[in-house]
Amino acid sequence: MPELPEVETIRRQLVEKVVGARIKKVEVRLAKVMKNSTSGTELLEGKAITGVFRRGKWLWLALEGDWALAFHLGMTGQLVWEGKGELPPHTHLLIELDRGRLRFTDFRQFGRVRLGKSKEIRDYLEEKLGPEPLSPIFSASYLENVLAKSRRPVKALLLDQKAVAGLGNIYTDEALFLAGIDPRRPACTLAEDEVKKLHEAIQKVLAEGIAHRGTSIRNYVDATGVAGEHGLFLHVYGRGGQPCLRCGTLIKKIKLCGRGTHFCPHCQR
DNA sequence: AGTATCCTGGAA
DNA sequence: TTCCAGGATACT
């Protein structure tokens, strides 16, 4: 589920809710979600949360003592701040705070949590992720260079977190539609003006996704447990067989890079 | 560069 | 009952 706009939405809300809060107790309810499980989450007890950061689809809590707790939500992960109440099923990590609690809930169990010193976590993320698509480092010429080096379908490159961090299946399909580019095109065949359009489209779809607090197709909710509104604004994702909003041609759904891929065969060349 | 794999549950 | 799903990785 959660791509950059969803994770950024959660981050912004958590900044308001948990920065300054102190951890009372951490309960790992499904051991395998702890990825680099050094011993312990016990060492976090009593520490205050000093910040909430995002890198690509990763979100991490900065904690006193230069510790960091990083989350990747996989396909169906939720990170929700709330008061007491019955705990939903598939809640794998529970952080009790002096104000409310933070729960990590993920029914498909693809999500992961890493605990480490903050430098360790930052290094790990820098090593595996390409530039942030909404930062100046992600320029049109950077994108041009990356695409020029590969014959793979352009969609495969956009999904590659090392090429650019944070795009997933929804926003990739949407960006390619806005740019008018067929997802199957070998990356190196894009002309300079097409790369420019694609670069612009990527930043636009992500910004809109954030403005609408993310896309709730299945079970995504933001950090307050509320669904996102961006599903109402999708052009192609999930619209296979329906008319293109621009030209009326039926949206095609195919399998590409092992993923459902939606595009307009008329608008995208 | 494709595809099997980790999981659960809703839809076809 | 089979297929499919906002992801990533470990294989052929």
Residue nearest to nucleotide B7 (CA to C1'): A108
Confidence grade of residue A38 (pLDDT, cut at 50, 70, 90) = low
pLDDT of A40 reads 81
Tell whether the model's pLDDT for residue A122 goes beyond 80. yes
List, for residues A216-242, the tens digit of each pLDDT value: 998 999 999 999 999 999 999 999 999
A47 is a catalytic site residue: no
Please report which helix (H) or strand (E) contains residue A143, including its range.
helix A140-148
What's the confidence (pLDDT) of residue A6? 98
Cα A233 to Cα A10: distance, rounded to the nearest angstrom = 20
Confidence of residue A41 (pLDDT cuts 50, 70, 90): confident
Could you give the domains of chain A? Answer: 4-128 (3.20.190.10), 140-263 (1.10.8.50)
Kindly determine whether the C-beta of residue A166 is less than 7 Å away from any atom of nucleic acid strand C.
no
pLDDT score at A37: 64
Using the CB atom, is residue A59 less than 7 Å from strand B? Answer: no
Q: A86: which 2 tokens?
A: 């019955």
Q: What distance in Å separates the CA atoms of residue A214 and residue A207, rounded to the nearest whole number?
A: 10
A151 CB-to-strand B distance under 7 Å: yes
What is the spatial distance between Cα A199 and Cα A194, in angstroms, rounded to a whole number? Answer: 9
Neighbouring residues of A117: CB distance < 8 A, sequence distance ≥ 6: A66, A67, A68
Distance A184 CA to B5 C1' (A): 25
- Condensed to tens digits (0 to 9), the pLDDT of residues A63-114 reads 999 999 999 999 999 999 999 899 999 999 999 999 999 999 999 999 999 9
Nucleotide C7's nearest residue (CA vs C1') is A74
CB distance A62 to A118 below 8 Å: yes
Q: Place A35 in a pLDDT band, splitting at 50, 70 and 90.
A: confident
As a rounded value in angstroms, the CA-to-C1' distance for A142 and B9 is: 41
Burial degree of A251 (CB within 10 A; 0-12, 13-18, 19+): buried
List the Cα angle A130/A127/A190 in 5-degree steps.
Answer: 25
